[in-house]
Structure 1
Amino acid sequence: MTQRFLDKTVLITGGGSGIGRETAIQFASEGAYVIIFDMDTQGAEEVVGTIIDKGGKADFLKVDVSNSSIVNDYVSELSKKFEIDILVNNAGIAHIGTIEQTTEQDLDRIYNVNVKGCYNLMHAVIPQMKQRKQGVILNIASIASSVGIKDRFAYSMSKGAVLTMTYSVAKDYISDGIRCNCIAPARVHTPFVDNFLEKTYPDNKEEMFEMLSNSQPIGRMGAVNEISSLICFLCSDDAAFITGSNIPIDGGFVTLNN
């Protein structure tokens, strides 16, 4: 394994499971010191333990990314000890429903985590990156940022905001040496998918898994390591010429599903 992130500090939100878990482990395996912000204490501590057992360096802080004062306080304390070189805004929650099926409370809940959480972290981290004239930000958008997805009104709203925030930050801070990109995954096989199927389709979850997999032209869901590999590439010096980009990783969903 290469050491592309040796002596780099990576802050990743939602690193306790799924894409975030795999990404944290890959960053650490390539030499990074990984700091996880998450509300899932058990999951995040397991990831930190896995990283340390493999000889890596990692820490976990229980942080509600939707709370700006808490985010600012923790980032401020961390900045006294470390330079945050890379920020990965991975934390996010889902919602299923049309606009009629989306309550104001639903909308606020999705906005607070997916939109405000992304804003809070960038707002807290960018000043120190700007001061050092270097830094990388990677946001997790979605295919729902670009195309209409049935019954995903609130989620699509939030990921559309992540996409346009990415463009705005990339434009505003390019002269400060800060790169900002996002990726747009389609369905990825994570514990969230398994839990959703178990809860929603307990009697035919295998059939529904197959149907969801086949909805992507490539005929399957993405694997978490495929997503983490793209994230790590975009955050590395190998991608030094890439900023202000939205990279699809969707098995052909956006361009071929017609």
Structure 2
Amino acid sequence: MTILDLRNRHGIITGAGQGIGRALALEFGSRGAHLLLVGRQQSTLMATARLVEAAGGTAEVLAQDLTLPGSVDRVTEAVVSWATVDLLVNNAGNVRAGRLERTSEADIRSMIDLNLVAPVLLTRALLPRLRAGADRDSIVLNISSGIALVGLPFYSVYAATKSGLARFGESLRRELTGMGVHVATVYPGATDTDMMTSQNAGADLGWDRRSLDDVITDVMAGLEAGDHEINTAPESRRGMQRLNISDPMAVDAAMTPQLADLEAAVRDHRSI
């Protein structure tokens, strides 16, 4: 039985120009959604909008850098005339891998501002609309990362932001108990998207990549089942996740022999 009805949603998807954001827009579009697609580049958003409409939905676009002052206000103003807002997908994010002391302050602030501050502020601004859902729960879907479950070397700031987003969702879920808002967090493992093109770590270093289609299938199935925590990592990574709970120092020991190879493989990983 479908617990959460995903049909005919009216909502906002951030980072909708590519990757997971675009794929989720198409899934909701195929279910009759009307979407506001938010991202930095007008051209990629328009391409997503055309795909959403071909899938059976409708879409508006808003080219917006969510780290800039006033950006959240512009998103909320874009949907002020909508009768309903019952979906928010906090997907926009960026990454810069490498040793902490070699990471610039600008890159650190960019990750914190987009990956954590922006979704918190956008969720806060839209909560009155989301709580006003008529006959079914609204959805807040936060796209975290498997790195929130196992902190990986050379991703310390990214891990901090994605862990923060996960705990934000958990706390908010409890805060909104009985208020008609379903808060869910997704933990994708390495996924074959444009965000990963500058990263060269492979399965030998624990970075088994799943196809975007497989990840999105898991996300939508989890949502339809009413799950609050949706882990799309491959089984090879889940063993490490379980070990990180029971014996985190064993994870340290397992990673130590590969540190030099991993650093070389991820040092150019950047989507900022």
Give me the whole-angstrom Cα distance separating, in 1, the residues matched to 2:69 and 2:170.
Answer: 22
1:171 is matched with: 174
Cα deviation code 1:201-233 (max 9, x no counterpart)? xxxxxxx4xx5144448xx41111222223333
Aligned amino acid, residue 168 of structure 2: M
- 2:132 matches 1:149: no
- 2:128 matches 1:138: no
1:225 is matched with: 213
Cα deviation code 1:165-220 (max 9, x no counterpart)? 011110101121111111111110012222x15xxxxxxxxxx4xx5144448xx4
Query: TM-score with structure 1 length normalisation?
Result: 0.83
Q: Is the 8 A contact 2:32 2:56 kept in 1?
A: no
1:175 aligns to what SS in structure 2? coil
Q: Is the 8 A contact 1:186 1:253 kept in 2?
A: no
Q: Is the 8 A contact 2:31 2:56 kept in 1?
A: no
Aligned amino acid, residue 88 of structure 2: L
2:7 is matched with: 6
2:34 is matched with: 33
Aligned amino acid, residue 98 of structure 2: G
- 2:231 matches 1:248: yes
Aligned amino acid, residue 146 of structure 2: I
1:80 aligns to what SS in structure 2? coil
Give me the whole-angstrom Cα distance separating, in 1, the residues matched to 2:21 and 2:190.
Answer: 15
Cα deviation code 1:34-65 (max 9, x no counterpart)? 22111121111111112223443122111222
Gap regions ≥5 residues in structure 2: 241-250, 252-272
Q: Is the 8 A contact 2:15 2:93 kept in 1?
A: yes
1:138 aligns to what SS in structure 2? strand
Give me the whole-angstrom Cα distance separating, in 2, the residues matched to 1:129 and 1:18.
Answer: 25
2:122 is matched with: 121
Aligned amino acid, residue 108 of structure 1: R
2:202 is matched with: 212
RMSD (Å) for aligned C-alpha atoms: 2.2
Give me the whole-angstrom Cα distance separating, in 1, the residues matched to 2:203 and 2:27.
Answer: 25
Query: TM-score with structure 2 length normalisation?
Result: 0.79
Deviation at 1:162, TM superposition (A): 0.6
Q: Is the 8 A contact 1:11 1:34 kept in 2?
A: yes
Task: Provide closer, same or farther for how the CA distance between residues 115 and 225 of structure 1 changes in structure 2, counting only shifts above 3 A.
Answer: same
Structure 1 residue ranges (4+ consecutive) displaced by more than 4 angstroms after TM superposition: none
Task: Provide closer, same or farther for how the CA distance between residues 9 and 111 of structure 1 changes in structure 2, counting only shifts above 3 A.
Answer: same
Query: How many residue pairs were aligned?
Result: 236
Gap regions ≥5 residues in structure 1: 198-207
Q: 2:188 aligns with which of 182, 185, 206?
A: 185
Cα deviation code 1:110-156 (max 9, x no counterpart)? 11100111112211111112233731111111111121212101111
Give me the whole-angstrom Cα distance separating, in 2, the residues matched to 1:27 and 1:48.
Answer: 12
Give me the whole-angstrom Cα distance separating, in 2, the residues matched to 1:75 and 1:55.
Answer: 24
1:150 aligns to what SS in structure 2? coil
Cα deviation code 1:52-101 (max 9, x no counterpart)? 23443122111222235221233134132241111111100001122212
